[in-house]
Amino acid sequence: MIDTLRTQRLKYKITQKELAEKVGVSKQYLTMIENGSRPLSEQLKQSLEQAIEELSILKSDCRLDVMIDYVRIHFVRPDRALGKAV
């Protein structure tokens, strides 16, 4: 299990520091988990898996560009919203 997390982290070129910051643990603690000297709780395992997934998306080559050509915004005055005349 720990090897799988390390393999996934390395596959997506995520550093220990990035992953540790994302899940809220120290880099040293993450190193101990990966080395097997600290136990891995189910909750932390899930947090690590989710963080790896999120960071892998951010580091992917996939890019989305958006161009907005036209925007129309209409603000309704509160006194007119109720049908009252000014």
Per-residue pLDDT, 83: 59
Q: DSSP letter for 33, please.
A: H
Question: 1-86 adopts what CATH topology?
Answer: 434 Repressor (Amino-terminal Domain) (1.10.260)
Per-residue pLDDT, 85: 56
pLDDT digit string (tens) for 7-60?
999 999 999 999 999 999 999 999 999 998 999 999 999 999 999 999 998 887
Domain boundaries, the chain: 1-86
- Please check the confidence at residue 5 and state whether its pLDDT lies above 60: yes
Mind giving me the DSSP string for 47-71?
HHHHHHHHHHHHHSS----------
